[in-house]
């Protein structure tokens, strides 16, 4: 193999109270995709932020195309041809797609005015190369989170960089969008460019990556070539131990009827009928835009119900606010933790308590010891990686933020738990932990609705699967009936539906 | 751990800044660190500090309250009128404070219910209640008189308890209350959360409307309390009283390190911010600086303080 175009050696980085990286190495080779793997909080994003000049390293050397470099800010790294797609989206909701892509680098006319025509045309070309049919003039806030991710990718591509860092780019993408991204990656590689690819989806590593570097707890574990290694070894190197069965499905007796909806409808969903019993996990599948999150938010009281009936634990309820629904025993973990789930400027403790202050207050006064006890239990139970419960959530790694989000909803002691993409951005080990937790809740008599774009996860964990299409439930499959194929047939509307 | 240590350090920085400031002024003027002047400074500071304490709630939610100066004047006028027309002390005070509270709550309700910009809404109510004050007073001061309950009323701003001027005690009690609410009560959490991420807070089952009605309500109430102090001290309410007070209050909050974007800050910071402004005013007076230069100096100090406190990356 040829010499690496990027060599990072002995990189260390210390944050207040956290040694995020400790003597890490990373090599990236010309015309190849280097996967960077590790559990949540292993230090992947931090390493990439050091490379792109967002953070300064505490120790270590970086050389790029044979030259020692030390980027002070993102512009420095961009100037030599390094682009980064951050894990957390950095887009301006108020601007259009095209404006976001060219933010700060708008094409100018002779007199300095922005050349809107050129900007929109260039944006259109970029979107087309990614196979996205969106009007570049469309406002960012109208896009789904997956589409926003694609815009972020388009933005990085527009820099025409030699080395592109992708930090969990497929986290929020549909299978189709992922496929388009891979096509683009292959084209870039053919052009001799290099890529660092971070993902928790191991399948993707084998599909698109050539090399892999593994980190654990901020330390370097190994660098390998992908053809040299299999999935189990990979997991073992990441987690430091063997993982048994990935989907620990657990059979349980159906308990009492917890949730019953009939003919539910509003502007977002229509004619929704289903039942949820204690002790079962019901999956919700469907393509992006099928109305899965909208269904969850309707149940949760965010979108008012216009038609139909919803009964929770035997009582008919007409959700008027999230608070009323939480009180009635249903809670929702959002798919978009940064926007809808967490208050990033607050601590782990304050976030977990937020939905259930009544549990830790008397006459509106917080009982701090009681709170601390509960929060520490959650941190332990979900193995949230944080130096203390007082750490600001914005300083946690993505996967650990997700766990805080889940802990927050558990704090309300729900009977019905609606999880929207609960394992998004979560590492293999933690995924397993979340599944185990779901089983534990199931055994404790909770009913769980799990929305997921990962069909294997639904097939692996659910007792039944509802498949949505155009705002309604197109079909329902039992665990034994469900397969990847028939779920897809319902999802695209080829089968099922109401006559 | 270390992070907290660092945050504490920053807080100490502003305390050290304040101390340094005090030492310099006491070197420049030997009248500064005398017992009577200290009480003087604190009493003068209390008016702005109390308004700033209320303002802290609003700014923490990510909002702003421009109407406090008008609320201050309007409730002062109501209080003076009630006392002057021979109403009992409690009726006058409770009446005037309720007016302040209601104005604030109305601000919060309008902002939350119709999703409007706090700046615009409170700009409107600021103008409305300045107008209402002028209409109510007919543009002339309203005296409280010196009969009946007026003597007791005069004690709010002019009296002493345990040898300490009442306004200072009121200020201490209100800051204690504000601290307690923000640190120890669920509403305090909700206020920080709303300023940090309103959407996520709403989706956590928190009523944003309640939070805003509360925060603006406190702001209105505290402005009215401040209005009582001044009306009591002067034994009359001036129709133009409190003009521009919203800016001093906002300055104190921001000097205290609270972010205008909401979600980050503390009431202790506001104490320091208000003290810095109060001491500066006092010092410029002691040093016989003309009032034109006072404005200039005050603006510069605010700018410098905010620059010094700029968050390092
Ligand atoms: N700005 C910060 N301040 C303090 N600690 C931080 C900061 N950024 C990251 N950390 C900590 O450094 C560690 C590594 O975080 P990093 O985000 O690099 O993890 P990651 O490997 O990208 O994880 P994930 O897969 O969950 O995204 C974590 O323990 C995290 O809490
Ligand atoms: Mg990361």
Per-residue pLDDT at A376: 96
Query: What's A395's DSSP letter?
Result: G
* Helix (H/G/I), strand (E/B), else coil: A315: strand
- B146-163 mean pLDDT: 91
Task: Give the confidence band of B313 by pLDDT, cuts at 50, 70, 90.
Answer: very low
Q: From the CB of A155, is ligand 1 less than 6 Å away?
A: no
A83, containing H or E segment: strand A82-85
User: Tokens for A51?
Assistant: 């490379």
User: Tokens for A45?
Assistant: 């994003």
Q: From first to last of its 499 residues, what are the pLDDT tens digits of chain A? A: 577 999 999 999 999 888 999 999 999 999 999 999 999 999 999 999 999 999 999 999 999 999 999 999 988 999 999 999 988 778 888 899 999 999 888 888 888 888 899 999 999 999 988 888 889 999 988 888 788 888 988 888 888 889 999 999 988 888 888 898 899 899 889 989 999 999 999 999 999 999 999 999 999 999 999 999 998 899 999 988 877 778 888 888 888 999 999 999 999 999 999 999 999 999 999 988 899 999 999 999 999 999 999 999 988 988 888 999 999 999 999 988 888 999 999 999 999 999 999 999 999 999 999 999 999 999 998 889 999 999 999 999 888 999 999 999 999 999 999 999 999 888 888 888 889 989 999 999 999 999 998 899 999 999 999 999 999 999 999 999 999 999 999 998 887 776 4
Q: How far apart are the CA of B199 and the nearest CA of chain A, in angstroms?
A: 6
Q: What is the pLDDT of residues A236-252, one digit of tens each?
A: 999 888 777 788 888 88
Question: Ligand 1, closest atom to CA A401?
Answer: 26
Q: What is the pLDDT of residues A90-107, one digit of tens each?
A: 888 889 999 999 988 888
Indicate the top mutation candidate among A14, A16, A20 to test ligand 1's pocket, ranked by most ligand atoms within 8 A of CB.
A20
Per-residue pLDDT at A424: 86
Q: From the CB of A385, is ligand 1 less than 6 Å away?
A: yes
Strand-strand pairing, B142-143 and A472-478: unpaired
- Which chain B positions have a beta carbon within 8 Å of A359's beta carbon? none
Q: What is the pLDDT of residues B196-252, one digit of tens each?
A: 999 999 999 999 999 999 999 999 999 999 999 999 999 999 999 999 999 999 999
A263 backbone φψ class: left, alpha, beta (φ>0; ψ -120 to 50): left
Q: From the CB of A15, is ligand 1 less than 6 Å away?
A: yes
- Which chain B positions have a beta carbon within 8 Å of A358's beta carbon? 186
- Please tell me if residue A77 touches chain B, with a CB cutoff of 8 Å: no
User: Tokens for B193?
Assistant: 């959360």
Å from CA of A36 to ligand 1 middle: 14
> Of A119, A89, A93, A94, nearest to A104 (Cα)?
A119
Please provide the average confidence, as pLDDT, over all residues in chain B.
Answer: 91
Question: Ligand 1, closest atom to CA A87?
Answer: 27
- The verdict on a CB contact (< 8 Å) between B264 and A345 is yes
pTM: 0.89
Indicate the top mutation candidate among A11, A14, A46 to test ligand 1's pocket, ranked by most ligand atoms within 8 A of CB.
A46
* pLDDT beyond 80 at B10: no
SS (H, E, C) B299-313: HHHHHHHHHHCCCCC
- Which chain A positions have a beta carbon within 8 Å of B196's beta carbon? 343-346
Q: From the CB of A471, is ligand 1 less than 6 Å away?
A: no
Task: Give the confidence band of B9 by pLDDT, cuts at 50, 70, 90.
Answer: low
Residue spans of beta strands (DSSP E) within A103-248: 163-167, 194-198, 211-216, 219-225
Query: What's A275's DSSP letter?
Result: E
Q: CB burial class (10 A; 0-12, 13-18, 19+) of residue A478?
A: exposed
Query: What's A337's DSSP letter?
Result: I
Per-residue pLDDT at A35: 96
- Please tell me if residue B29 touches chain A, with a CB cutoff of 8 Å: no
Sequence-distant (6+) residues with CB within 8 A of B115 are none
Question: A24 or B7, which is more confident?
Answer: A24
Per-residue pLDDT at B310: 64
- Please tell me if residue B238 touches chain A, with a CB cutoff of 8 Å: no
The beta-carbon neighbor of A365 closest among B6, B184, B206 is: B184
Query: How many residues in chain A?
Result: 499
Specify the range with the lowest mean pLDDT, choosing from A5-9, A124-128, B4-8, B163-167. Answer: B4-8
Å from CA of A386 to ligand 1 middle: 9
Per-residue pLDDT at B11: 61
Per-residue pLDDT at A240: 84
Per-residue pLDDT at A306: 93
Q: Report which bound ligand comes closest to the CA of A85.
A: 2
Per-residue pLDDT at A90: 81
User: Tokens for A466?
Assistant: 């509802």
* pLDDT beyond 80 at B309: no
- Which chain A positions have a beta carbon within 8 Å of B197's beta carbon? 339, 342-345
Per-residue pLDDT at B299: 86
Share of chain B above pLDDT 70, in %: 94
Q: What is the ipTM for the molecules in this complex?
A: 0.90
The beta-carbon neighbor of A323 closest among B2, B200, B205 is: B205
Upper half-sphere CA count for residue B160 (Cβ side, 13 Å): 5
Question: Ligand 1, closest atom to CA A16?
Answer: 4
Q: From the CB of A199, is ligand 1 less than 6 Å away?
A: no
Compute CA A113 distance to the chain's CA centroid, rounded to the nearest angstrom: 38
Distance (Å, whole) CA B72 – CA B230 = 9
Task: Give the confidence band of B1 by pLDDT, cuts at 50, 70, 90.
Answer: very low
Q: From the CB of A398, is ligand 1 less than 6 Å away?
A: yes
* pLDDT beyond 50 at B312: no
Task: Give the confidence band of B2 by pLDDT, cuts at 50, 70, 90.
Answer: very low
Q: From the CB of A38, is ligand 1 less than 6 Å away?
A: yes
Per-residue pLDDT at A413: 92
Task: Give the confidence band of B20 by pLDDT, cuts at 50, 70, 90.
Answer: confident
Cα B22 to Cα A133, B33, B304: the distances in Å are 64, 9, 16
Q: What is the pLDDT of residues B274-296, one digit of tens each?
A: 998 999 888 888 888 888 888 88
């Amino acid at each position: 193999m040829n010499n690496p175009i990027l060599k990072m050696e002995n990189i260390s980085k210390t944050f207040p109270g956290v040694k995020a990286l400790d003597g890490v190495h990373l090599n990236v080779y010309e015309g190849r995709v280097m996967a960077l793997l590790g559990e949540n909080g292993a230090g992947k994003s931090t390493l990439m932020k050091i490379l792109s000049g967002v953070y300064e390293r505490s120790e270590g050397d970086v050389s790029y195309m044979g030259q020692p470099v030390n980027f002070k800010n993102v512009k420095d790294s961009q100037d030599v041809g390094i682009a980064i797609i951050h894990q957390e989206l950095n887009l301006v909701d108020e601007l259009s797609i095209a404006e976001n892509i060219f933010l700060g680098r708008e094409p100018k006319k002779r007199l300095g005015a922005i050349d809107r025509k050129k900007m929109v045309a260039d944006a259109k070309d970029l979107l087309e190369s990614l196979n996205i049919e969106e009007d570049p003039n469309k406002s960012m806030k109208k896009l789904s989170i997956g589409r926003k991710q694609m815009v972020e990718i388009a933005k990085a591509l527009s820099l025409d960089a030699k080395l592109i860092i992708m930090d969990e780019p497929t986290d929020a993408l549909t299978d189709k969008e992922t496929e388009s991204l891979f096509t683009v990656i292959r084209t870039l590689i053919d052009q001799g460019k290099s890529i660092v690819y971070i993902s928790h989806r191991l399948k993707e590593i084998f599909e698109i990556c050539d090399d892999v570097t593994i980190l654990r707890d901020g330390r370097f574990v190994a660098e390998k070539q992908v053809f040299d290694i299999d999935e189990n070894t990979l997991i073992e190197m990441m987690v430091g131990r063997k993982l048994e069965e990935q989907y620990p499905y657990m059979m349980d007796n159906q308990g009492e009827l917890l949730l019953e909806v009939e003919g539910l409808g509003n502007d977002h969903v229509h004619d929704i009928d289903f039942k949820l019993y204690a002790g079962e996990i019901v999956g919700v599948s469907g393509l992006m835009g099928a109305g899965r999150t909208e269904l969850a938010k309707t149940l949760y009281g965010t979108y008012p119900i216009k038609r139909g009936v919803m009964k929770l634990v035997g009582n008919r309820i007409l959700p008027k606010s999230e608070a009323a629904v939480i009180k009635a025993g249903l809670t929702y973990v959002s798919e978009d933790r940064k926007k809808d789930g967490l208050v990033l400027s607050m601590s782990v403790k304050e976030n977990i308590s937020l939905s259930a202050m009544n549990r830790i207050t008397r006459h509106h006064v917080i009982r701090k010891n009681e709170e601390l006890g509960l929060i520490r239990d959650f941190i332990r139970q979900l193995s949230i990686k944080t130096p203390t419960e007082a750490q600001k959530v914005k300083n946690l790694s993505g996967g650990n933020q997700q766990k805080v989000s889940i802990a927050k909803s558990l704090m309300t002691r729900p009977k019905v738990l609606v999880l929207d993409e609960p394992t998004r951005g979560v590492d293999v080990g933690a995924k397993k932990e979340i599944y185990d937790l779901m089983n534990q809740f199931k055994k404790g008599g909770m009913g769980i609705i799990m929305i997921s774009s990962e069909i294997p996860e639904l097939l692996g964990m659910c007792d039944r699967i509802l498949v949505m299409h155009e705002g309604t439930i197109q079909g329902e499959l039992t665990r034994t009936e469900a397969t990847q194929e028939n779920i897809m047939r319902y999802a695209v509307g080829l089968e099922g539906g109401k006559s | 751990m270390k992070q907290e240590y660092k945050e504490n350090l920053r807080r100490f920085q502003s305390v050290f800044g304040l101390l340094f400031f005090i030492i310099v002024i006491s070197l420049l003027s030997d009248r500064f660190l005398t017992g009577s002047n200290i009480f003087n400074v604190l009493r003068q500071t209390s008016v702005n500090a109390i308004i700033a304490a209320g303002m802290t709630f609003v700014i923490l939610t990510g909002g702003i309250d421009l109407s406090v100066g008008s609320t201050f004047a309007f409730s002062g006028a109501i209080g003076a009128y009630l006392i002057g027309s021979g109403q009992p002390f409690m009726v006058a005070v409770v009446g005037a404070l309720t007016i302040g509270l209601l104005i604030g709550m109305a601000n919060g309700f309008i902002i939350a219910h119709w999703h409007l910009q706090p700046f615009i809404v409170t700009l409107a109510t600021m103008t409305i209640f300045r107008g209402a004050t002028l209409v109510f007073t007919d543009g002339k001061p309203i005296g409280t008189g010196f009969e009946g309950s007026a003597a007791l009323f005069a004690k709010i701003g002019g009296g002493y308890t345990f040898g300490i001027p009442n306004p200072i005690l009121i200020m201490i009690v209100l800051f204690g209350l504000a601290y307690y609410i923000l640190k120890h009560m669920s509403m305090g959490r909700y206020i920080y959360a709303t300023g940090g991420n309103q959407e996520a807070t709403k989706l956590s089952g928190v009523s944003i409307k309640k939070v805003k009605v509360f925060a603006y309500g406190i702001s209105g109430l505290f402005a009215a309390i401040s209005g009582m102090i001044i009306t009591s001290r002067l034994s009359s309410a001036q129709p133009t009283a409190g003009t521009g007070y919203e800016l001093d209050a906002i300055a104190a909050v921001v000097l205290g390190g609270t972010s205008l974007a909401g979600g980050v800050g503390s009431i202790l910071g506001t104490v320091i911010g208000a003290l810095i402004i109060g001491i500066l005013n006092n010092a410029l007076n002691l040093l016989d600086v003309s009032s034109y230069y006072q404005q200039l100096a005050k603006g510069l100090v605010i700018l410098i303080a905010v620059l010094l406190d700029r968050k390092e990356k």
